[in-house]
Chains A and B, each alone.
Chain A
Amino acid sequence: MDTTMPVAAPRVTYLNHEHTVASWLLTKDHKRIGIMYLMVVTFAFFLGGLFATVIRLELATPAGDLVSADTYNKLFTMHGVAMVFFVLIPAVPAILGNFVLPLQLGAKDVAFPKLNLLSWYIFVIGFLFTVYAMVAGGVDTGWTFYTPYSSRASNTNVVATGLGVFITGFSSILTGLNFMVTIHRMRAPGLTWFRLPLFVWAIYSTSLVQILGTPVIAITTLALAVERFLHFGIFDPVLGGDPVLFQHMFWFYSHPAVYIMILPPMGAISEVIAAFSRKSIFGYSFVAFSSLAIAIFGFLVWAHHMFVSGISIYSALVFSFLTYAVAIPSAVKTFNWAATMYRGAIWLKAPMIWAIAFLGLFLVGGLTGLFTAALGVDVHLHDTYFVVAHFHFIMVGGAIMGYFAGLHYWWPKITGRMYSDIWAKVAAIIVFVGFNLTFGPQFILGYVGMPRRYHVYPPEFQVLNVLSSAGASILAVGYVLVAIYLVASLFYGEEAGDNPWHATGLEWTTQSPPLPHNFATQPVVTEDAYEYSQREIKVV
């Protein structure tokens, strides 16, 4: 990677101070660990994308003519498992969080560097387990693993996949713990809580969810395995269990998991919008506390996935109300981002274009949540394509676009190289257009009544499905384009310089790529985050 480093800059960086494979596999450097996560997550992303491609090809016609029904069911299951557990949950915290968090804090590394490496290994072992389950015949329960189908009826690799999710969960817990301690203990002198970049607040809130929520999915998958193997009646009514109990336990983790996916990208968006508006974030403390509020209230809304699952109408009432309550902090963030741009000096470089694309898609994703939270409408919408469209707008339109905005923002810091700004903008626009064409028609499909997870469908739904598949092919071109110009930048990219965006934040005060231990001298912070009107943060 660094063989093309120009002779004029023989600086020691975290990339070039050691070269052996062992120096990577045994590294305790948060930056290298971040890059190792990037490798695995990118692989999982293209794997999940491959599954999605076959799904969209199959759905181009109403008949089940490309793959068999069982194969189709495995495809959407494995698409969900790969994307949720191995892309969305780790993407921003484990890749960007690992790389950027200690730099933003002015720290040498995370609080527990060895634990950080262990987390990566646990993540990889969990991923290998899941890939093994996929290669050895796949799994067909849906990523939601609903009982009693998963515990009794399915004869696919349910337990191996569950074990993969179970193992990976520990990586998520340990990373959350590591980051939380790091934020408490490793802040540079002068870096008080309310001077922290908002990305740090977002990671802190996410860590809270990772630590408190993930053990519940571990218990749930374990209970599922116990029922499958030992026939203990936990979820299967024939054995005396309750299938709805599984849904409570599953969503108690998996709803907060949505905030593990979306909070860190929201943090990245706060950084990008402030940097490219060259202005303080509007309402810093409101944006910071809205992250915490989302993390906490996010634990109280799980049963909104279960309005037609046989819960009492009065508990449905409570969960609907709480869901509207948790929507408010997300709205507050969005309004603050828009207001930050007011009277800014807006520099429309590629990361800002990705961030604006995020705003547009996240807005649609968040607002369509008002439909699914509305009890009377959700009875109709539940388990239709409307829901599929809604959560893809949040998870892909929100989380993945936010991840890309952050990746483009910090790429010059990570690699020391600058990618093509033009191509990056073109890719953002292609992805934005392709995404809307893919998932926009699915809102209509859902309201017309097409249920999700359908291998064949009535012919009158075909036109909207063809539009969606066409959009998906545009989307795929966009993502491949991103991979091409980012890889190309490693070989042909110009040297980025230490602070190509003229941004505030301690990560921009060290060299690009950073030193092995981040900073030559201990940074000291004397002012709030995003003090653009006073130019760069002074570092003593």
Chain B
Amino acid sequence: MVSGIPLFPQQGSTLAADVDALYFFIVAVTAFVALLVTIVVIYFAAKYSTNDPLEVGARIHGSIPLELAWSIIPFLVTIVIFVWSADVFFDLQRPPDQTLEIYATGKRWMWKFQHLDGQNEINELHVPAGRPVKITFTSEDVLHSLFFPAFRTKADAIPGRYSTVWFTATLVGEHHIFCAEYCGTNHSGMVGKVVVMEQTAYEAWLTGNVGGGTLAARGERLFSDLACNTCHLSDGRGRGPSLANKFGAAERLASGATVAVDESYVRESILTPQAKLVDGYQPLMPTFQGLVSEENVMALVEYVKSMRVPSAAVSRAEAPAEPAKPTVPQENR
């Protein structure tokens, strides 16, 4: 951490500099306008001041050209800011295809991070520098917000749905994690640190911290413990649809609509199975709401993800955190 008075946050990610550049542009524009108006007002107040209460000002009622000028010029300037900021925003909101995936859960008052290799961390997150990291997260109770000031990004953790943030950390070291959405008594204690490591140090950390198998392996155990496998047979002849090679595809629903099978859809299908029923299947599946913790739902989601074409699943063993997304056909049904 920086000692002394921090006047500016550290630039810890690839996008931090983009956000800061836009920030300084707006600082320049607003400082110019603020100074201009302040100087004009003070100048007028000094130049035209009088102590004779009976004196009157000039008979001026306005000027259409001036009104148009100071409506249109600020509008054009704000359009520049708008377009630029939308561009930065889209970069912040849309992760690249190849990311290191991490799951997280916010609950009062801690952040729990789950790595695909099985490591769990509380209020601490180890990530490698120079590699895009995507965090998929939710909340177990009330709203929270996962905030990385050094990476200039945050998103609310909302119970009942998945949010994502992504970043490519560039600055090795420790940076703050804050909860930015008020969540009750110990809101200001719901803080942690993200530890950015060189790739080799990160790999050493990974091997030194192996938990009980990978996240997908944990999901596989849950899949049989919860008897999901009695209906979701892989040959497609069960009472529920086969989940093999399903993630990333589009699914046709009983309602006639199609839905993209992503993390949120898998989660929803576990917790509220009747919400989006797959075409051709009966509404037989019970809800697992309240029976599976958010962390276990994430393990199940990760297991469903892993049930893809064998070649992709194998390649994940070498590159543990890179789901081989591009090999998955996008519209194969």
A residues in contact (CB < 8 Å) with B? 64, 69-70, 73, 140, 142, 146, 148-149, 152-154, 237-238, 242-244, 277-280, 282-286, 307-310, 313, 316-317, 320-321, 324-325, 327-328, 331-332, 334-336, 338-339, 341-348, 356, 359-360, 363-364, 367-368, 370-371, 373-380, 382-384, 444, 447-449, 451-458, 460-461, 463-464, 501-502, 532-533, 535
Kindly list 14 other residue pairs between chains A and B, CB separation below 8 angstroms, not including A280-B62, A502-B54: A69-B187, A70-B185, A243-B143, A279-B58, A283-B62, A327-B78, A343-B48, A371-B23, A374-B82, A377-B88, A458-B1, A464-B5, A502-B53, A532-B56
What is the distance, in angstroms, from B193's C-beta to the closest C-beta of chain A? Answer: 10
A148 to B182, CA, bound (A): 11
5 of the cross-chain contacts (CB-CB < 8 Å) are: A283-B62, A320-B82, A346-B44, A376-B84, A448-B8
Within 8 A of A (CB), among B159-211: 159-161, 163, 176, 178-189, 191
A500 to B132, CA, bound (A): 68
Contact A278 B57, beta carbon cutoff 8 Å:
yes
B residues in contact (CB < 8 Å) with A? 1-9, 18-19, 22-23, 26, 29-30, 33-34, 37-38, 40-41, 44-45, 48-63, 66-67, 70-71, 74-75, 78-79, 81-82, 84-94, 108, 141-143, 145, 147, 149-150, 152-156, 158-161, 163, 176, 178-189, 191, 289
What is the distance, in angstroms, from B189's C-beta to the closest C-beta of chain A? Answer: 7
Q: Which residues of A contact B58 (CB under 8 A)?
A: 279, 342-344, 533
B3, B38, B45 — most chain A CB neighbours (10 Å)? B45
Contact A320 B142, beta carbon cutoff 8 Å:
no
Contact A458 B176, beta carbon cutoff 8 Å:
yes
Contact B9 A448, beta carbon cutoff 8 Å:
yes
Specify which of B37, B149, B160 is in contact with A380 (CB 8 Å cutoff): B149
Q: Which residues of A contact B71 (CB under 8 A)?
A: 328, 331-332
A453 to B145, CA, bound (A): 13
What is the distance, in angstroms, from B149's C-beta to the closest C-beta of chain A? Answer: 3
Q: Which residues of A contact B180 (CB under 8 A)?
A: 382-384, 451-452
Contact B160 A237, beta carbon cutoff 8 Å:
yes
Contact A320 B189, beta carbon cutoff 8 Å:
no
A382 to B54, CA, bound (A): 50
Specify which of A285, A310, A339, A368 is in contact with B158 (CB 8 Å cutoff): A310
A317 to B53, CA, bound (A): 51
Contact B60 A345, beta carbon cutoff 8 Å:
no
Q: Which residues of B contact A153 (CB under 8 A)?
A: 108, 141-142, 184
Contact A308 B44, beta carbon cutoff 8 Å:
no
A68 to B, closest residue via Cβ: B185
A324 to B86, CA, bound (A): 13
Given contacts A338-B40, A346-B44, contact A456 B188 (CB under 8 A): yes
Q: Which residues of B contact A460 (CB under 8 A)?
A: 1-6
Contact B37 A363, beta carbon cutoff 8 Å:
yes
Contact B178 A451, beta carbon cutoff 8 Å:
yes
Contact B23 A347, beta carbon cutoff 8 Å:
no
Contact B86 A152, beta carbon cutoff 8 Å:
no
Specify which of B44, B57, B289 is in contact with A338 (CB 8 Å cutoff): B44
A344 to B, closest residue via Cβ: B57
Specify which of A149, A344, A501, A533 is in contact with B183 (CB 8 Å cutoff): A149
Given contacts A308-B154, A370-B81, A449-B149, contact A338 B41 (CB under 8 A): yes
Contact B61 A382, beta carbon cutoff 8 Å:
no
What is the distance, in angstroms, from B24's C-beta to the closest C-beta of chain A? Answer: 10
A444 to B23, CA, bound (A): 12
Contact B70 A331, beta carbon cutoff 8 Å:
yes
B109 to A, closest residue via Cβ: A69
Contact B56 A345, beta carbon cutoff 8 Å:
yes
Contact A142 B182, beta carbon cutoff 8 Å:
yes
Contact A535 B160, beta carbon cutoff 8 Å:
no
A185 to B11, CA, bound (A): 60
Q: Which residues of A contact B158 (CB under 8 A)?
A: 237, 243-244, 309-310
Contact A277 B57, beta carbon cutoff 8 Å:
yes
Specify which of A332, A344, A370, A461 is in contact with B70 (CB 8 Å cutoff): A332
Specify which of A154, A283, A348, A456 is in contact with B45 (CB 8 Å cutoff): A348
A316 to B, closest residue via Cβ: B89
A64 to B185, CA, bound (A): 12
Q: Which residues of A contact B29 (CB under 8 A)?
A: 370
A380 to B20, CA, bound (A): 10
A154 to B155, CA, bound (A): 22
A308 to B65, CA, bound (A): 40
A290 to B, closest residue via Cβ: B71
What is the distance, in angstroms, from B73's C-beta to the closest C-beta of chain A? Answer: 10
Q: Which residues of B contact A152 (CB under 8 A)?
A: 141-142
Specify which of A70, A308, A332, A338 is in contact with B145 (CB 8 Å cutoff): A308
Contact A346 B48, beta carbon cutoff 8 Å:
yes
Q: Which residues of A contact B9 (CB under 8 A)?
A: 447-449
A448 to B60, CA, bound (A): 46
Specify which of B41, B79, B154 is in contact with A356 (CB 8 Å cutoff): B41
A280 to B, closest residue via Cβ: B61
Given contacts A335-B70, A383-B181, contact A375 B86 (CB under 8 A): yes
Q: Which residues of B contact A535 (CB under 8 A)?
A: 56
A140, A283, A339, A344 — most chain B CB neighbours (10 Å)? A344
B34, B63, B153 — most chain A CB neighbours (10 Å)? B34
Q: Which residues of A contact B187 (CB under 8 A)?
A: 69, 73, 453-455
Q: Which residues of A contact B67 (CB under 8 A)?
A: 283, 286, 332, 336
A502 to B56, CA, bound (A): 10
Specify which of B37, B55, B70, B94 is in contact with A359 (CB 8 Å cutoff): B37
Contact A376 B22, beta carbon cutoff 8 Å:
yes
What is the distance, in angstroms, from B88's C-beta to the closest C-beta of chain A? Answer: 3
Specify which of A69, A242, A324, A379 is in contact with B89 (CB 8 Å cutoff): A379
Given contacts A69-B188, A328-B75, contact A149 B142 (CB under 8 A): yes
Given contacts A331-B70, A379-B154, A383-B145, contact A237 B159 (CB under 8 A): yes
